[in-house]
Chain A
Amino acid sequence: MESQQHRTDREVVLDVQHLSISFGDNHVLRDFNLQLYRGENLVVLGKSGSGKSVLIKCIIGLLKPDHGQIRVLGQDVIGMSKEELDRMRTRVGFLFQSNALYDSMTVRENLEFPLRRHGRDKSHSEVEALVMEALTNVGLPHTVDLMPSELSGGMRKRVALARTMILKPEIMLYDEPTTGLDPVTSREINDLILKVQQIYKTSSIIISHDMSSVFQTSNRIAVLIDGRCSAEGNYDQLTRNTDPAVQGFFQ
C-alpha cells in the first residue's frame, strides 16, 4: 500500500495500456500493461521469443499493435502522423539489439546520421562537437574514422549507444544491451547506462535476461510471461516472489 502511494506522486512518462499484438496465430502480447516513471531504470525481463523486442518496437512506432494504447510523454503513439512520430523519436532513443550500425558508413557518419534530419540548423563545427562529445562519453573518441566492421562487439555497442545519445533523448529504450558480451564489457555498458541516467536524467526501459546487469541497473523490474506483465517490483521483492515462472529468472 505504501509503495502504491509513493508511486502516484511520480510523473508517468510512458504508459502502455492493454497492448495486444499477434503475428498470424502467434499471439505475442496479450493485454500487456506497463508504466515508466520519470528518471527510473525499468528492466523488462522475459524469455527469448517472449516479445520483448516487439514491445519496444510498438512503443517507438515501428510495429502497429492490434489493440491497446501507448502514451509517450503524454502523446498517443498509435494515432500519430509521420511528422509527429519523427518528433516523438527525437525525444526517445532506441538501442537496437543488433546495434544496427550502418556498415557502409564510418563511425562519424553513423553518428551524424540522426542529425541529418533533426539537427539541420546546426553548423558544421557544432555537429563535429556533438559527435566528439558523444564518442568521448562512451570512451571511444579515437574510433571516429573507423568503419563498424573494424570494431569489436563491445565497441560497436558503445558506438551504437553514442549514436542514440547524440540527440539527448528523455527516454531510452535499450534492447538487450549486454547480451553476447563478456562480463567485464557488460559491466562497462551497465556503468554507461547508469551514467546516462545520472547525467541526463533519462528514464529508461532496459530489456535484459542477464541477471547480473539486471541487478546492477534496475530500479524496478517487470516480468513478461505469456504476453502479460505477470510480476513487477524491485530486485529484492521479486527474489521473494513465489511464482515458479518468475523464480526461474532469479536462481
Chain B
Amino acid sequence: MKLPLGTRNTLAEIGDISRFTARFFREWGGPRFEVQEFFRQCYMIGNRSLGLVGITGFILGLVMTIQSRPTMAQFGAEDWIPSMVSVSIIREIGPVVIALICAGKIGSGIGAELGSMKVTEQIDAMEVSGTNPFKYLVVTRVWATTFMVPLLVIFADVVAMYGSYLAVNIRGDTSLALFTQQFVDILAFSDVLPAFIKTFFFGFAIGIIGCYKGYTSNKGTEGVGLAANSAVVVASLMVFILDLLAVQITDLLGLT
C-alpha cells in the first residue's frame, strides 16, 4: 500500500527534524562550545523581542480582566478577579501566547538568517575556515532560545499583572500592594512549576525548528522566504503539541 504524497512528505520531515535534533544532542556542548556567540544570541533574541512581548503581556492582562468582570460580577465575585486572571495567565495563556509570539518573531528570524547564510554559501565558508557551523550557528541559537523564552514569559507575566491592575482600577479602586497580594497568593507551587518548565521546551522547539528550516533550506532566494515561513508554522504547531503533552503529564502527576 502506498501512502499519499502529503503524508509521506510529512513523515519524511518528522524524520529529518528528529535526526537534526539528535545531531544537536551529539554536538550540544563540549570543549568547542561557542560561549561568546551564545551570549550574543541571548542578547539579540531577548532584546529584539522584549518590546513585542511586553506589549502582548500588557494587553493580555488588560483584556482578560475587562472581559472577566461581567461574568464575575454576576456571581458577586469581583474580588476574585485578580486571582482568576492570575491563574489563567500564569498557568496557561501566558506561556502559550508568548511562545506563539516568539515562534513568529524569533523562529522566523532564525529561519531567514540561517536560510540566507545557506544560500549565499556562508555556512560552507565557515566549514572551510575550520569552524563547525553546526556548533557555531545551531547549538548557540537553540540554547539561547531555550533560556530566553522562559525569561520572556516571566517578563510578560509581570507586565500582564500590571495590565490587569490597571484594568481593575478602571472601575474599582485597589491598591497595588493588595492587588499584587491577591494575584500572587492564589498561585500554588504546582501551578507555577509545570508552567515554568514547559516554557523551556517551547523555547527549545522554537530554536530547533527555526534552525532546522534555515540550515537545511534549499538553494535559491525563494528558499529563504519559505524557510522563514514554514519555521513559524511548524514552531507554532509544536508549541500546541508540547502544551497538550504538558497538560497530560501534569494531569498524570496529579499537579492540577
Whether both chains belong to one complex is answered with yes
Please provide the chain B residues from 114 to 163 with a CB less than 8 Å away from any CB of chain A in the complex.
Answer: 116-117, 120-122, 124-131
Please provide the chain A residues from 89 to 127 with a CB less than 8 Å away from any CB of chain B in the complex.
Answer: 89-90, 94, 96-104, 113-114, 116-118
Tell me whether A117 and B128 are in contact in the complex, defined as CB-CB below 8 angstroms, given that A100-B122, A103-B116, A103-B122 are known contacts: no
In the assembled complex, the CB of B67 is this many whole angstroms from the nearest CB of chain A, namely 43
**CB-nearest residue of chain B to A166:** B129
Q: Contact check, A90 vs B121: say whether CB atoms are below 8 A apart.
A: no
| Interface-central residue, B116, B117, B127, B129, by most chain A CB under 10 Å | B129
**CB-nearest residue of chain B to A167:** B129
Q: Contact check, A114 vs B130: say whether CB atoms are below 8 A apart.
A: yes
Of A96, A101, A117, the residue contacting B124 (CB under 8 A) is A96
Q: Contact check, A100 vs B120: say whether CB atoms are below 8 A apart.
A: yes
Of B113, B116, B124, B129, the residue contacting A114 (CB under 8 A) is B129
Q: Contact check, A60 vs B128: say whether CB atoms are below 8 A apart.
A: yes
**CB-nearest residue of chain A to B132:** A82
Of A62, A89, A94, A98, the residue contacting B120 (CB under 8 A) is A98
Contacts of A117 in B (CB 8 A): 129-131
A226 close to chain B: CB less than 8 A: no
Contacts of A102 in B (CB 8 A): 117, 122, 125
Tell me whether A62 and B128 are in contact in the complex, defined as CB-CB below 8 angstroms, given that A97-B121, A102-B122, A103-B122 are known contacts: yes
Q: Contact check, B130 vs A118: say whether CB atoms are below 8 A apart.
A: yes
Contacts of B131 in A (CB 8 A): 113, 116-117
Q: Contact check, A89 vs B124: say whether CB atoms are below 8 A apart.
A: no
**CB-nearest residue of chain A to B40:** A104
Q: Contact check, A100 vs B124: say whether CB atoms are below 8 A apart.
A: yes
By a beta-carbon cutoff of 8 Å, the part of chain B in contact with chain A is 113, 116-117, 120-122, 124-131
Name 10 A/B residue pairs within 8 A (Cβ), A-sorted. A57-B124, A60-B128, A62-B127, A94-B128, A102-B122, A103-B116, A103-B117, A103-B122, A113-B126, A117-B129
Contacts of B130 in A (CB 8 A): 86, 89-90, 114, 116-118
How many A-B residue pairs have C-beta atoms within 8 angstroms? Tell me: 46
Extra A-B contacts (10), CB below 8 Å, given A89-B129, A97-B121, A100-B125: A89-B130, A90-B130, A99-B120, A100-B122, A100-B124, A102-B117, A102-B122, A113-B126, A117-B129, A118-B130
Contacts of B124 in A (CB 8 A): 57, 62, 96, 100
Q: Contact check, B129 vs A98: say whether CB atoms are below 8 A apart.
A: no
Contacts of A116 in B (CB 8 A): 129-131
Contacts of A97 in B (CB 8 A): 121
A54-80 to B contact mask, C-beta < 8 Å, 1/0 = 000100101000000000000000000
**CB-nearest residue of chain B to A118:** B130
Contacts of B126 in A (CB 8 A): 113
Contacts of A114 in B (CB 8 A): 129-130
**CB-nearest residue of chain B to A96:** B121
Contacts of A103 in B (CB 8 A): 116-117, 120, 122
In the assembled complex, the CB of B140 is this many whole angstroms from the nearest CB of chain A, namely 13
Contacts of B129 in A (CB 8 A): 89, 113-114, 116-118
**CB-nearest residue of chain B to A83:** B130
Contacts of B120 in A (CB 8 A): 98-100, 103
**CB-nearest residue of chain A to B122:** A100
**CB-nearest residue of chain B to A62:** B124
Contacts of B116 in A (CB 8 A): 103
Once the chains are docked, how many angstroms separate the CA of A102 from the CA of B116?
10
In the assembled complex, the CB of B141 is this many whole angstroms from the nearest CB of chain A, namely 12
In the assembled complex, the CB of B246 is this many whole angstroms from the nearest CB of chain A, namely 34
**CB-nearest residue of chain B to A97:** B121
Once the chains are docked, how many angstroms separate the CA of A89 from the CA of B130?
7
In the assembled complex, the CB of B56 is this many whole angstroms from the nearest CB of chain A, namely 27
Once the chains are docked, how many angstroms separate the CA of A221 from the CA of B92?
67
